[in-house]
């Protein structure tokens, strides 16, 4: 006696492409709920049908690459902002003056943000070899290595 027919053919197979797209922003539990299937059955189908497993995994691989590119772009923006803060910059400040509930005029003032000492220090310590603490750390590591070699040589004799 065969059990009840499964929902794979009706609830999952026709929507494999949409499932692949949904996997970017949704968890598997959310996808199962949207398809009207219990999560335990969804997991079972994922093990049973390679098409479902592939639909979920291929999109996740692409998503990781997309996120890596997005993170690189964000990091570059942060570095640009850090450089801007270290140099100082001008910006416009807008102020709307209202009188009796109506806008009377808008004042635009150009202001200057002074260079931020913390941004300067961070940039110099990370990007300048002269300001970096790495030289001191490397010297300490070399000295430590030499001491370990001397101790090892004494232990051998």
Q: Quote the number of domains for the chain.
A: 2
User: Of 53, 69, 85, which closes a domain?
Assistant: 69
Question: Around Cβ 19, how many Cβ atoms within 10 Å?
Answer: 23
Task: Say if 157 falls within a structural domain.
Answer: yes
Pairing assessment for the beta strands 89-99 and 102-113 based on DSSP bridges = antiparallel
Q: Are 115 and 85 in contact (CB under 8 A)?
A: yes
pLDDT at 4: 66
The residue out of 33, 53, 69 marking a domain boundary is 69
Return the pLDDT at 27.
87
3-state secondary structure of 3: coil
Q: Rounded CA gap, 35 and 40, in Å?
A: 13
- Sequence length of the chain is 157
Query: Concatenated DSSP letters for 108-140?
Result: EEEEEEPPPHHHHHHHHHHH-TTT-SHHHHHHH
Q: What SS3 state is found at 97?
A: strand
Query: Is 156 within a domain?
Result: yes
Helices and strands (H and E) in the chain: how many: 6, 2
- Structural domain span for residue 13: 8-69
pLDDT tens per residue, range 129-156: 676 666 677 778 888 888 888 887 777 6
Rounded Cα distance between 2 and 118, Å, is 71
Do the domain assignments include residue 136?
yes
Q: Which of 119, 98, 96 is nearest to 107 (CA)?
A: 96
- Kindly report, residue by residue over 58-116, the tens digit of the pLDDT: 666 666 677 788 888 888 999 999 999 999 999 999 998 888 888 888 899 999 999 99
């Amino acid at each position: 006696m065969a059990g009840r027919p499964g929902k794979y053919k009706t609830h999952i197979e026709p929507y494999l492409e949409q499932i692949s797209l949904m996997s970017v922003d949704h968890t598997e539990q959310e996808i199962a709920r949207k398809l009207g299937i219990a999560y335990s059955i969804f997991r079972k189908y994922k093990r049973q049908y390679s098409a479902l497993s592939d639909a979920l995994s291929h999109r996740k691989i692409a998503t990781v690459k997309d996120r890596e590119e997005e993170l690189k772009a964000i990091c570059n923006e942060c570095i640009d902002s850090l450089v801007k803060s270290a140099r100082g910059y001008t910006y416009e400040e807008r102020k709307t003056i209202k009188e009796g509930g109506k806008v009377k005029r808008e004042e635009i003032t150009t202001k200057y943000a002074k260079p931020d000492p913390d941004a300067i220090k961070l940039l110099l310590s990370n990007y300048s070899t002269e300001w970096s603490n790495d030289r001191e750390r490397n010297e300490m590591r070399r000295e430590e290595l030499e001491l370990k070699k001397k101790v090892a040589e004494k232990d051998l004799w």
